[in-house]
Homo-oligomer: A and B are copies of this chain.
Amino acid sequence: MQLNLAILPGDGIGPEIVEVALNVTKAVAEKFGHTLSYEYALVGACAIDKTGAPYPDETHALCMKSDAVLFGAIGDPKYDNNPSAKVRPEQGLLKMRKDLGLFANIRPVSTFASLLHKSPLRADLVDGADFMCIRELTGGMYFGRPQGRSEDGNTAYDTCVYTREEVERILHLAYKFAGQRRKKVTVVDKANVIATSRLWRQIAQEIAPQYPDIETEYMFVDNAAMRIIQWPKSFDVLVTENLFGDILTDEASVITGSLGMLPSASIGIHTSVFEPIHGSYPQAAGKNIANPLATVLSAALMFEYAFNLMKEGSLIRQAVNASLEAGFVTEDICSNGQPHT
């Protein structure tokens, strides 16, 4: 098979972890007789520095003609405490999501036996937790307009908007994934207070009967924030809107203790993007201490979701488990807390 990739290393540790994942991708492609072609492009702070734009047109053009995008991370300390800077790395991320139509961000949350001691939760609560968060990624308050300030600058406003199509599309995806898993969908909203959530719940109630073998659970977002900690094993597929998803997926990502191990996929209309859930961790850049496994596991998701190559994905996962078991790990997941040499 022909695999055309765009490689977007981004900022901080992005380049070094993407390099590892690309090497793994090359090895797997070779082993299975696929032809790999790839091109690099800029995104984030490094793109602002070199071109003035956080998601340059050339980068977009490359992504559009690629089958999949392997992405590192973006963000640089010089933009961190200045959220009102005119041009910011995150704008690149949001523009990329919108322009590529990346409507669904998928984050499998799973535990690794050898990392359970890193979990902030009691091991009995989290051992065996295995669920998937699906976050709507191109709607809601992130993109709703009007957004801004009154003339005197003393009143600010944001708009949250959702359309039937956006909600249906992502709910069907959630049911599709649940059908391949433990057959349960938890729809998270705040339907007791906001109108967009009432639309979500109404549509979920319309769609649920179309999947009679899948259980549907409705949960308010505040309750979900509690349940993720109290009973993570009760979830199979959790689906929610953009901003709730931003908060809940980050919450969910830390309960297993494997933050440096969690991959993600953003499924799009034009292409799909695969990236670790962690950030650009600038303090670690260039020190050869960054954990590349979340990015490597993102490459596994890429084989599976973008190319439907299941054996290739599963081989990568096996290799990751083998490294873990051999104790060949970076310092963040080293059991004795000492850097691994």
Contact = CB atoms under 8 A, between A and B. Distances in A.
B83 A192 contact: yes
A198 interface: yes
Nearest to A143: B193
Contacts of A192: 83, 88, 90
Nearest to A160: B158
Contacts of A223: 250
Interface in A229-246: 229-230, 243-244, 246
A286 to B, nearest CB: 24
Nearest to A84: B198
A83 B226 CA distance: 20
Nearest to A257: B230
A305 interface: no
Contacts of A222: 246-247, 250
Interface residues of A, number: 58
Interface string A142-166: 1010011100001111111111100
A300 B247 CA distance: 33
Interface stretch (A58-66, A98-106, A120-128, A291-299): A120-128
A248 B229 contact: no
B144 A157 contact: yes
Would you list the 9 A-B pairs with minimal beta carbon distance, nearest first?
Answer: A156-B199, A83-B191, A154-B164, A222-B250, A225-B251, A158-B160, A156-B196, A156-B195, A158-B194
Interface of A: 81, 83-84, 88, 90, 94, 119-122, 125, 141-142, 144, 147-149, 154-164, 190-199, 201-202, 218, 221-223, 225-226, 229-230, 243-244, 246-248, 250-251, 253-255
